[in-house]
Amino acid sequence: MSPDRFTARTWPIAAATLYFAGPGALDVHAAPAEEWDAVFADIARAGFDHVDLTDGWLRPADLDAERHEELLAAAHGRGLGLASVSAIRRSVIDRAHGDDNLAYSHRTLDAATALGIRTVSFGLHQALTPQQKERLWFWTAQGHVDDPADWELAVVRLRELGRHAEELGILMSLEMYEDTFLGTADSAVRLVEDIGLDSVGLNPDIGNLVRLHRPIEDWRELVEKTAPYTNFWHVKNYARDENPDRDHYAAFPTTMEAGLIDYRWAVRHAISQGFQGVICTENYGGDGLGVCAANRDYLRRQVLPLDAGYASAPSRVRQLSDARTREGTR
């Protein structure tokens, strides 16, 4: 038994901030700290004690030191800890913007350190296409597809970021997303293994995959293959219907408890494989924050271990409880 192991009471479960972005949202970078406080007030009222800074809402990399202090003060003033940063649609192998995205990703790691954040998630998904932006659910239209010729570039650039993260004592996690090199379990695991750093693991956001209106990989196999490498987790669920004879595939957002993925089994399996990282609750549509609060309660009351005496295999990547992550290596 390890005293550092998380339990249902202590596990860091963060509210994503993605649902505070979107059409009509304020430019939160230029806004006064009172605007951040209003968001944090809602998150705290929903019962959360941790926040994920989704950069679709706020980009820590593009704030100066003074604004970092304002951000920390706003969060702490509401009793919230900043648990993680999720940097999305900033692929380092984007043919047009890869160099800029790589520089941005390095700044994100530095900003995370300034804010005391020890988990940063990156992905290889790119900007939404015009067609995706017109859809009710953007995932029903085809988005960017990674070119196999860019595999080595992805390994080299993500390894560069991973070394930077390691120097800072940060866990770097790679978000699974369709049609990228992180779009299947086998490809995602291969990518992490090719990068070859224990500071780099997976964010098995399998909700991104089960929502697709096309045939999908079995979600249990996704969990089984990625669990030994999981160090951060975006969790969300979708109800799904299939009739292959009619080429019919449909999915829509729902709670973790009600959707296709059995998170009671999935989370417990991941823990048995050594997972000890931040869980970030996400949802699209409706009252996203309210759904995430319900998902948090489901995890704490029904799924996560009640005490620290559980058995688990050693993870193949570093976890949040690792001393090098808590203290940094500088």
Edge to edge, what strands does the sheet with 200-203 contain? 200-203, 171-175, 119-122, 81-86, 50-54, 13-15, 279-281, 233-235
The answer to whether position 251 is within a domain reads yes
pLDDT the model gives residue 322 = 81
The answer to whether position 7 is within a domain reads no
Radius of gyration for the chain, computed over Cα atoms and rounded to the nearest angstrom: 19
Per DSSP, the residues of 191-237 read HHHHH--TTEEEE--THHHHT-SS----HHHHHHHHGGGBS-EEE-E
pLDDT the model gives residue 25 = 55
pLDDT the model gives residue 30 = 85
pLDDT the model gives residue 330 = 32
The answer to whether position 2 is within a domain reads no
**C-alpha distances in angstroms, 299 versus 150, 261, 263?**
38, 14, 9
Q: What is the pLDDT along the chain (330 residues), one digit of tens a residue?
A: 355 799 999 999 999 999 898 655 557 888 899 999 999 999 999 999 999 999 999 999 999 999 999 999 999 999 999 999 999 999 999 999 999 999 999 999 999 999 999 999 999 999 999 999 999 999 999 999 999 999 999 999 999 999 999 999 999 999 999 999 999 999 999 999 999 999 999 999 999 999 999 999 999 999 999 999 999 999 999 999 999 999 999 999 999 999 999 999 999 999 999 999 999 999 999 999 999 999 999 999 999 999 999 999 999 999 998 844 555 433
The answer to whether position 28 is within a domain reads yes
The answer to whether position 8 is within a domain reads no
pLDDT the model gives residue 328 = 44
Q: Are 217 and 209 within 8 A, CB to CB? A: yes
Number of domains in the chain: 1
Core vs surface per residue 260-284: b (16+ CB within 10 A) or e: bbbbeebbbbbbebbbbbbbbbbbb
Domain around 165:
13-327
Neighbouring residues of 258: CB distance < 8 A, sequence distance ≥ 6: 237, 239
Nearest residue to 277 (alpha-carbon basis) of 197, 182, 173, 175: 173
The answer to whether position 153 is within a domain reads yes
The answer to whether position 6 is within a domain reads no
Q: Are 178 and 212 within 8 A, CB to CB? A: yes
pLDDT the model gives residue 321 = 81
For position 224, which CATH number holds? 3.20.20.150
The answer to whether position 64 is within a domain reads yes
Q: What is the DSSP letter of 121?
A: E
